[in-house]
Amino acid sequence: MEHTKCLIIGSGPAGYTAAIYAGRANLEPIEYCGLQMGGQLTTTTTVENFPGYPQGVDGNQMMADLQEQARRFGTDVRDGIITEIDLSKAPYVATTDRGDKIEADTVIVATGASAKYLGLPDEQKYMGQGVSACATCDGFFYRKKTVAVVGGGDTACEEAIYLAGLCQKVYLLVRKPYLRASEVMKKRVANNPKIEILYEHNALGLYGDNGVEGAHVVYRKGEADERKYDLAIDGFFLAIGHKPNTDIFKGQLDMDEVGYIKVQGDTPRTSVAGVFAAGDCADPTYRQAVVAAGSGCKAALEAERYLNQ
């Protein structure tokens, strides 16, 4: 069985930063990148809010740079997926999708979270060309433009309010005849003159020749007064939640009801000694690349300290 001092599961800013720090600490880490090498940033175009890139940087290029840096310090970066892991006793044993087994003294979980989508074919067609699941990441590109946010919870309201500070007009498409958000968020949305709430609305599709130019929507779908029409917009933001990619750790690590891994205070330590969580798989609040990178750094430092002790 192959053995490593440090196994990193997942890539993206958290995984690659953990790999850089673990590599520099001579832990000779092995990193399995998962289905989406580079994580969620590979689905966006220009990243403008990561420090050190004054002109912005292509998401794929940024992840390639981080991977190269991780390799430079001795990380064994591999494609493939960890499909099973036994955290019942140390050293921990992980199994890959090829059936290989790896014994690890420490494990850094950086599997991220996946944004939930409506399942419309047009969402993939216009990904990075008007479709986004992160207003903080991409809202800047829609200054003084018109956008739509899909969702009725606190996250959707927060995204709508954030975008209202940048955009000319924000439509909030809500499937139900009411908002699920807290009373405070409801009032903030209702009192914002740039936000128009469209209750009982569903998106059917998107259209546009050079990116999103509008959405096909339906009012009161399936009812006698159903009405379909086109809504002119420049951007389409999904805010219907995220699903942390943590299924293989269920029953082994403490998680919240959604599946986010619980960490101890401001540390990346999980409920199992020697296992650390970094990035969006343990962060339901911020979900930003720079925050994920910082947590990856902390996870590697904690892994090094754990091994030294």
Phi, psi of 130 (to 5 degrees): 130, -15
- Find the catalytic residue in 33, 134, 167, 297: 134
Whole-angstrom CA distances from 65 to 62, 71, 301 are: 5, 10, 21
DSSP string of 175-229? SSSS--S-HHHHHHHHT-TTEEEEETEEEEEEE-SSS--EEEEEESTTSTT-EEE
| CA–CA gap between residue 132 and residue 265 (Å, rounded) | 31
Active site residue 137: yes
- Find the catalytic residue in 138, 234, 280, 283: 138
Pairing of strands 76-78, 82-86: unpaired
Active site residue 157: no
User: Kindly report the CA angle at 82 between 77 and 86, in degrees rounded to 5?
Assistant: 125
Are residues 274 and 107 in contact, defined by beta-carbon separation less than 8 angstroms?
A: yes
Active site residue 138: yes
Are residues 197 and 179 in contact, defined by beta-carbon separation less than 8 angstroms?
A: yes
Contacts of 264 (CB under 8 A, 6+ apart): 270
CA nearest to 15, candidates 79, 66, 86, 90: 66
- Find the catalytic residue in 137, 157, 167, 281: 137
| CA–CA gap between residue 282 and residue 273 (Å, rounded) | 16
Active-site residues, by number, are: 134, 137-138
